[in-house]
Amino acid sequence: MMLNKKPLPDPYTHAVCNRFAAYRPQPVYYFLLIALIAISCLPGYTQPLRRCGAQQQDSLLKARNPAYARARAHLQELLSQPTAGNRKKAAQAEVTLIIPVVVHVIHNTPSGEMGGSENANITDRQIFSQLDVLNEDYQRKANTNGFNTHPAGANVNIEFRLANLDPQGRRSTGITRTYSTKTSYATYEVDKLANLAYWPSDQYLNIWVTRITGEFIGYAQFPDASNEPGLAEYNGLEKTDGVVIDFQNFGREGTASRGPYNLGRTTTHEVGHWLGLLHTWGDEDCGNDYCPDTPPAFGPNETLTCDQTTSRCSGVSTRNMIENYLDYSPDRCMNIFTQDQKDRIRRVLELSPRRKKLIESVGELLPEREALEVTVEKNPAFELLELQVLLKGAQPIHIEVADAMGKVVFEKNIASTRSGEFPIDITSLRQGMYFVRVRTPTESQVKRVLVL
């Protein structure tokens, strides 16, 4: 599973290249090794991509911050303790949990223009497509790959929503855009991204979308048990707590065109780490991911195909679960979270202090209505249309804004949602009359609004 992109220089690569440039071995059998290293140091050399740098990031954070290492180990101790299997726990697992998301787009486009094949300032529509993928995968929605292909898969019962309020309580679309003169960021530079844009990680899932230097296309920070008795409060790493995704692998349209990672599953994978899941091979040969119903695996699936593979661990051959979201398989192969993975995620949300506080910070959900009910108001202070949609249960909805001539100037498809608020940024709209239309599979409402 190798894709190529032209890497940008980073200090680790330069250190290796400079070291070997000064080295002159005499034995002939070193010639091939030196030739390969020399090629890799050429400016035009293309570096193979790998899906995930979370394990490398985790190792780096542990080395830099012993308090984090202790808090990570303590969380695993808590997760390993037996739980009482009762009806109350089973019922809680079927409650849909809401996670507010903020997407920080960090780009190098001085004009602020959005969209285009090489533009890290991706469109709102591309961001919406990624939220749809997350909800399809974590809710095992009907008529999606996870539902149709693997009927034994688990519904994790998590709904991801772009935040409609910022940390100051002001209306927001859940998307921030920040220009930077820096063109790309290495996996060890998440602190630089967080210094540009960050919302409290005990209230929001921060996702930074930018150009990533080097071989990885995404990474995440694992949960920990900081703030537990005897451990430091939040251990100083709360500001980098989130997920980073390369803009060319975020969502399933726009710049997300690099197969085989072009269907939004890199974010599904990294959010899985953010929720406490490990790779299916446990990041070592036949390692432990603490989910017994994922078969032991010798390593990741790094082929470009969905062909079945096997591993021989402890003298027993087993089929690899290459379709699991925590493998390295192409996006089109991925379609399952297991029941044990679901159970681990739900326990992390109870036991990791920042994750638990985030879930508890979600306000009371809006009420259901038997019939579609839409209200829309203009908020001149923040240049937003405040759209409230009340409906029955969870349904797909389509939102569009059209001008007086009928030209659609904004549209958004949501694969499934409950009653909620959906702020619409109107900074690009001219003065005049506009029509906001909301459709479900069976109902439709149109509201008129004047933009001044």
Q: Which residues are designated catalytic?
A: 270
Residues 6+ positions from 130 with CB-CB distance below 8 Å: 103, 250, 251, 252, 264, 267
* Alpha-carbon span 197 to 205, nearest angstrom: 13
- Percent helix, strand, coil in the chain, to 5, is 30, 25, 50
Phi, psi of 397 (to 5 degrees): -135, 155
DSSP state of 165: B
Phi, psi of 280 (to 5 degrees): -65, -25
Q: In Å, what is the CA distance from 378 to each residue of 382, 406, 437?
A: 9, 20, 15
* Alpha-carbon span 366 to 388, nearest angstrom: 9
The two structure tokens encoding residue 248:
């060319």
Torsion 140-158-223-266 (CA) sign = positive
Cis peptide before 66 (omega within 30 of 0): no
Cis peptide before 260 (omega within 30 of 0): yes
DSSP state letters, 334-370 = --B--HHHHHHHHHHHHHSHHHHHHHHHS-PPPPP-S
Q: Are 320 and 294 in contact (CB under 8 A)?
A: no
DSSP state letters, 257-272 = --TTS-SSHHHHHHHH
Q: Count CB neighbours of 40 within 10 A.
A: 15
Q: How far is CA 329 from the centre of its chain?
A: 16
